Structure 1
Amino acid sequence: MSIEFLITSLIIVVSPGTGALYTIATGLSQGFRKSVIAAFGCTLGIVPHLAAAIAGLAAILHTSAVVFEAFKYAGVAYLLYMAWNTLREHGTLKVDDTRSGSTSAAKITGTAILINVLNPKLSIFFLAFLPQFVPVDATNSLPHMLELSAVFMAMTFVVFAIYGAFAAAVRDHVISRPKVLTWMRRSFAAAFVGLGFQLAKTNN
């Protein structure tokens, strides 16, 4: 496994995106344990894209404008839905004043998975990214693809869990200050809208 792959993957993982944003918001609103669950769900949400890239299904998404647009705007709609729920205090930043938080682990996991599943850029990314690091003389590329995918997913989980830990560490300071919480809720909603706008501009 090349150092280039590790560095490139780390840059991609640490870059702010919907998964990182959701994990941070969960850490702020639900605490560290739930943020780890969110990080795990976001990591699981990568699996369908990896499977599509390995199976070559991502090529269909890349070449079919209709499929890509439908998939893309489903993701945009979901991001706008999350922004709306965040502003209404029913979504990502619905803060519970207990240590454990009120949102179930299953719901957090499901939301995190859906966030990454509805991101067509991941499929396109893995279609173009992973094959570059498979040895050209490899008789069977599948083991190499699986190894690279596993490393990328492990890196995603660790980085997102760290994001969640930092967010959970300042949770008490946030929930004890209503004005700060209101500002952060609006900021997260705006971030979801901004990410949705960026996704809407994506071309296949």
Structure 2
Amino acid sequence: MITTIIFDLGAVLIDWNPHYLYERIFEREEERHHFLETICTPAWNEEQDGGRTLQDATQVLIAQFPEHEENIRVYYDRWPEMLRGEIPGTVALLKTMKESGNYKIYALTNWSSETFPIALERFEFLSWFDGIVVSGAEKDRKPFASFYQTLLNRYAVNPEEALFIDDNLRNVKAAEELGIHAIHFINSEQLKQQLIEYGIAV
């Protein structure tokens, strides 16, 4: 029986993507992809999710790629432009589960503690959660077991009664290794069907 739902945020409930910003900066698509795949990479961004400061992160890259300094600085100077909005279908599912009163609902997110306040201000639905664990604040992140354990311990969650939803298969598998039920998020329609299969009325 599922009593607790744990959501990832980015690409599940919030449409965040660096390409939304950099498509305004690079005229050629191949240049944009090259920049985000070789300079401001997902692996680099994950270090900020794990607690590295935005200033330190920026300086590290500028030292490596001084010729790209202007475009590197833009990443965090114009970071809000990477937020396109909520993902309506998933937010609707969250709302239904919250209003049912049948579940404790938490968020476990890889997110810099310096940029997360922007999301809190912009997305009213973030106030619906019974608790949010932010990687940058904890200086820990998915897929490390210790990060999941922080949420389980803080809110006295039984992993056998918990369901975790994330768009990253790596993070889904890490949750399953801790005995947490998990869904690999593809889109809100697929999520709704799998929630129904778990006996959750949505």
**TM bin (shorter chain):** under 0.3
- The answer to which structure, 1 or 2, has the higher relative contact order (CA under 8 A, 6+ apart) is 1
As a proportion of its length, which structure holds more helix? 1
Q: What TM-score results when the alignment is normalised by the length of structure 1?
A: 0.27
As a proportion of its length, which structure holds more strand? 2
